[in-house]
Amino acid sequence: MTAPDTLAPVTPIERRGYAHPDALVSTDWVAEHLADPKVRLVECDEDLLLYDTGHVPGAVKLDWVNDLNDTMLRDFVGRERLEAMLRARGISADTTVVLYGDKNNWWATYAFWVLRLFGVERLRIMDGGRQRWVEEGRQLETAVPAHPKGDIRVEERDDTRIRAFREDVLEHLMRERPLVDVRSPEEFRGERLHMADYPNEGALRGGHIPGARNVPWARAVDPDTHVFRSAQELRTLYEGEQGLSVTKETIVYCRIGERSSHTWFVLTYLLGYDRVRNYDGSWTEWGNLVRAPIERP
């Protein structure tokens, strides 16, 4: 397939210097594996209706609201429910799961993070996401595929390695370890409680956790191509500008943990940080906690 002449070119994934380049696949790779029974394409969008308007051929839908989150507790579904959901989408132990979605893979990386909590392996992100696929003029279809039921076995969720809770953040704060607030500068400064163009709700107080560095999540993506920036550019962003270090344990957060899962993916898989946790309680919890310390410029 020939991409439109006006489309900005991208450097191949293997030439960008990532710590774990195998965590990403290109749109070309996906196009070459559309008929591969060992590959399952999974679309996870912020816009829950977008999949129905057209998706990558053979892709199944993952609804981040109903498929991943418990309907009663503010927590994720249990092991049995997640396992049943994945099996229903034709995912087995030897299936390579390629996640992609809208908003520069914002929710695809959230699904990736949640699945890693349950020990799911063989996960990939389609670099450039849905937008890159569409801009390249590639095929979309509206038919919902029917894949044979899978046999994947899912582990009990492990919340200790890559997830942080408020008590973890308080301890982290006392030890003066790095925190990254990936929200917009307006949210960080306490001027807004949500991103622009969204309802300004979710917390009683605005601001940020004391000592946090503000690196908006989308800065990790090239806005012209929608693919992740090179490792060198990412190191400049996180280490050169903000002083992060691969040797230090880091906690990332946003409003409900979805934008920060994108930064968790970048730090963990693209830069090779092995001690990054995502605080999914994030500002919706922290900004409502009685006596939780808050900082504003």
3-state secondary structure 168-207: HHHHHHHCCCCEEECCCHHHHCCCCCCCCCCCCCCCCCCC
* Six token digits for residue 79: 């092991």
Nearest by Cα to 235 from 266, 274, 204: 266
As given in the structure block, the two tokens for residue 63 are: 């609804």
**CA atoms of 4 and 12, how far apart (whole Å):** 18
44 is catalytic: no
Kind and range of the H or E run holding 43: strand 39-43
In Å, what is the CA distance from 52 to each residue of 55, 101, 142?
A: 7, 13, 6
Q: DSSP string covering 45-74, please?
A: -SSTTHHHH-BSTTPEE--TTTTTB-SSSS
Residue type, 247: T
DSSP 255: S
In sequence order, the β-bridge partners of residue 43 are 61, 100
Residue of 56, 254, 256, 271 with catalytic role? 254
Helix (H) or strand (E) holding 279: strand 276-279
Residues assigned a catalytic role: 254
